[in-house]
Amino acid sequence: MARVKTFLRKHGWSYLFILPTMLTFSVFVLLPVISSLVISFQKYSLRNGGTWVDPIYKNYIDAFTTQSGVFLVAIQNTLVYSFFTVISNVLVGLILASLIQPLSQFFKTFFRAAYYLPAVTSAIVIGMTWRYIYNAQWGLANFVLRKVCTITQELVCIPEVRWLSNPDIALGSITLSTILTVPATAVVLFSAAMGGIPKEYYEAAELDGAGSLRKWWNITLPLIRSVTLYLAVLYTIASFEVFEKIYIMVPAGVANATQTIVTQIYQNGFQQFNYGVAAAQAFVLFLMIAGVAVFQFRALRSDVEY
């Protein structure tokens, strides 16, 4: 007890600086998460509150078995979407940052700002834009296909594609729209990380006869591994939680072809008011993200600090 009093007397005042942040975190993050965990074991209604289900894990079973196993389809769609988007975002960001790095400071700043513009654009606006592009009648995508057919004198003709109404390609169309959007955060962070690598490393490699590709592979990539890890985790979380783009581009859905985990949570929680099942699905999503993040940390971590 005496040690606690001594510690508070010396350092207690410093905790006052983080008190507002901790209170905000507790009220708006920690308490809602704990409440959601409790609701995932209850049959809950806004009017009457919650009652414990029997067995206690019933909501988790119902999450996978109700609606003829749609949640399993949603998990599969989410994994496919995340796999392609995370890899493409990290790779495209790495390549663009590597191309920017040799430029002068003026052009570095210019391209960083230009590539970062999509990041400040609302996801709803981006989703609406791609919805117009994919419109089957007058969208840009099918317009390009018609022009290619005309230019090649009908040698290369592809019938008009129902990008967002064909269940076989709807999820692929949404995934493609994400891949074709410049990963602004990756470009800026990779570029900043590359700029912080000491030039002496590259000069020493040049003395040993290393070319540009070898320097990039043996110096640049290892020294930005921590940034790669951060971006991989960041984009994984974002892709697992994809909702706005799907809700805007295919608001009515395309059978179950565009169902993801978060759209299932939304439908159960805010359309069918089955809060217990929705909360259970949310914690399944949390466990999936945590599991993938642990794997990424093990695969990309480095025991060496540069």
Q: What is the CATH number of the domain that holds 159?
A: 1.10.3720.10
Q: How confident is the model at residue 302 (pLDDT cuts 50, 70, 90)?
A: low
pLDDT over threshold 50, residue 107: yes
pLDDT over threshold 70, residue 305: no
Taking 3-state DSSP, the helix, strand and coil percentages for the chain, each rounded to the nearest 5, stand at: 70, 5, 25
Residue 154: which domain range? Answer: 38-300
Q: What percent of the chain has pLDDT over 70?
A: 98
Overall number of domains in the chain:
1
Q: How far apart are CA 293 and CA 231, in angstroms?
A: 11
Residue 305, domain member (yes or no): no
How, if at all, do strands 49-52 and 42-45 pair?
antiparallel
Identify whether the C-beta of residue 276 lies closer than 8 Å to the C-beta of residue 39.
Answer: yes
Identify whether the C-beta of residue 193 lies closer than 8 Å to the C-beta of residue 227.
Answer: yes
Average pLDDT over every residue of 245-263: 89
Residue 27, domain member (yes or no): no
Residue 33, domain member (yes or no): no
Q: How far apart are CA 170 and CA 197, in angstroms?
A: 42
Q: What percent of the chain has pLDDT over 90?
A: 54
Residue 11, domain member (yes or no): no
Residue 237, domain member (yes or no): yes
pLDDT over threshold 70, residue 106: yes
pLDDT tens by residue, 10-64:
777 788 888 899 999 999 999 999 999 999 999 998 888 889 998 999 999 999 9
pLDDT tens by residue, 190-225:
999 998 899 899 989 888 888 888 999 999 999 999
| CA nearest neighbour of 46 among 301, 276, 296 | 276
pLDDT tens by residue, 58-101:
999 999 987 778 999 999 999 999 999 999 999 999 999 999 98
